[in-house]
Structure 1
Amino acid sequence: MTGALRVLVVDDHPVVLAGLTALIDAADDLTVCGAAKSVAEVRAVAADLAPDVCVLDLQLPDGDGITLGRTLKQQWPTTRVLILTMSDDPGAVVRSLGTGLDGYLLKDSDPHELLTAIRSVATGATVLGRGTSAPVVAASNAAPDTSPLRALDARDREILALLVAGLTTTQVAHRVFLAPKTVRNRISGLMGKLGVTTRDEAVSLGRAAGL
């Protein structure tokens, strides 16, 4: 379909792969440009695909989705990568974001949530599915007392961690169950505590502190 987002799907379970392909192809604005069950299969078909979004399983028979996603983003700099997995392992969530991938979603998500996530990462947003933002928050709360973030309270750290992950003010508000105006006020307050004047500076400090 002309103008549809091109999606590469990788999952080592044939039934899951077929289901994802059917779900995505059924959406008017999405089309599956490739499907594979392993890293080797991706390499065999990937040369001319240049997908807009890659939906990758975390565990593959000959590799992992995070490493594959990093490789695909190097090959196609404009491609976005969404991990879709059964694993809510905190280390995997943090590693995927730290590697530069664009989203992490659990397979028990609603089909509509998956389609929305694909569209969102295609626009440049970072997507964290339900149950996957907690590791990012935990990583922020683990910062040592010598961290530049020591002046922040738990809610400040939670919001800053989500900003570091690339979420917009509206997305952060949805994650922490606050009104967007309240989140904007919290962001202004944490910037003051950090002694910075822009959101980008706050995000840079958060990233440097290991969020």
Structure 2
Amino acid sequence: MSGPTPGRAVRVVLVDDHAVVRGGLAQLLGAVDDIDVVGQAATGAEALVVVADVAPDVVVMDLQMPDVDGVTATRRILAEHPVTQVLVLTSYSDAERIVAALDAGAVGYLLKDADPDDLIEGVRAVSRGESPIHPRAARSLLTARAQGPGRAGRVELTPRETEVLALVRDGLANKQVARRLGITERTVKAHLTSAFARIGVQDRTQAALWAERNDLG
């Protein structure tokens, strides 16, 4: 997976339908030496055009927007620009939206009430291929899975999360999982981040043990 060249600022596009929010984000991120805001968009449809024009490393994506929403925009952007990373920044912390965003290919999910330093570090983390998730969003996923005793069906993993966890249980690394399923390594990481939160584990070893206990795959 390619990313920002070492020593080069992370190129960021901001997508939010509120001009005041975009302006505040641009001021916050633009004041950081290693982040460069190279574009802004007010709708998902506009984001597609801006991303194609400036080829950012990271898109900071709102979810609730007119025209094309953030989930749809994320899916379309990543279909056309697979090396771009999408970090969701939204007011919504319900499990359904989180899962939808991660399934669309977003690799991070932060909330708008996050500390400014957390947002800055979130952009940096996403550019490094990491998957930052706001603690309240993670708790929403955990709450959603708390309906049952921990069986795979009761946790309601997506089909792709089930496939990824089964391959992790079999000892495959993320790059091998990506090749096996025909998806990007970034998407594998996003599915693992979501699955870890939903089944209540913190690392691959715990996830593999969970998958084994629950006869996954």
TM (norm. structure 2) is: 0.68
Q: From the superposition, tell whether residues 17 and 140 of structure 1 become closer, same or farther in structure 2 (CA, over 3 Å).
A: same
Looking at secondary structure, tell me which structure has more helix per residue: 2
Of 86, 105, 122, which aligns to 2:110? 105
Q: Which residue of 1 aligns with 2:55?
A: 50
Contact 1:85–1:106 (8 Å) recurs in 2: yes
Of 31, 41, 46, which aligns to 1:36? 41
1:63-142 to 2 correspondences below 5 Å: 63-142=68-147
Q: Distance in 2 between matches of 1:85 and 1:36?
A: 15
The alpha-carbon deviation at position 148 of structure 1 amounts to: 7.6
Q: Distance in 2 between matches of 1:194 and 1:79?
A: 30
The alpha-carbon deviation at position 67 of structure 1 amounts to: 1.1
Counting matched residue pairs gives 176
List runs of 5+ in structure 2 lacking aligned partners. Answer: 1-6, 156-189
Larger Rg: 1
Q: From the superposition, tell whether residues 140 and 12 of structure 1 become closer, same or farther in structure 2 (CA, over 3 Å).
A: same
Q: Distance in 2 between matches of 1:145 and 1:117?
A: 30
Q: Which residue of 1 aligns with 2:64?
A: 59
The alpha-carbon deviation at position 191 of structure 1 amounts to: 4.0
Q: Does 1:164 align with 2:192?
A: yes
Mean CA deviation greater in 5-14 or 137-146: 137-146
Which structure exhibits the higher relative contact order, with contacts defined as CA atoms closer than 8 Å and separated by 6 or more residues? 2
The alpha-carbon deviation at position 102 of structure 1 amounts to: 0.7
TM (norm. structure 1) is: 0.70
The alpha-carbon deviation at position 120 of structure 1 amounts to: 0.6
3-state SS, counterpart of residue 9 of structure 1: strand
Alignment-mate amino acid for residue 47 of structure 2: V
3-state SS, counterpart of residue 143 of structure 2: helix
Q: Distance in 2 between matches of 1:82 and 1:28?
A: 19
Aligned-residue Cα RMSD (Å) equals 3.4
Runs of 4+ in 1 over 6 A off after TM superposition: none
Contact 1:6–1:52 (8 Å) recurs in 2: yes
Of 9, 12, 15, which aligns to 2:14? 9
Q: Distance in 2 between matches of 1:7 and 1:43?
A: 14
Q: From the superposition, tell whether residues 17 and 78 of structure 1 become closer, same or farther in structure 2 (CA, over 3 Å).
A: same
3-state SS, counterpart of residue 98 of structure 1: helix
List runs of 5+ in structure 1 lacking aligned partners. Answer: 151-161, 177-182, 197-201
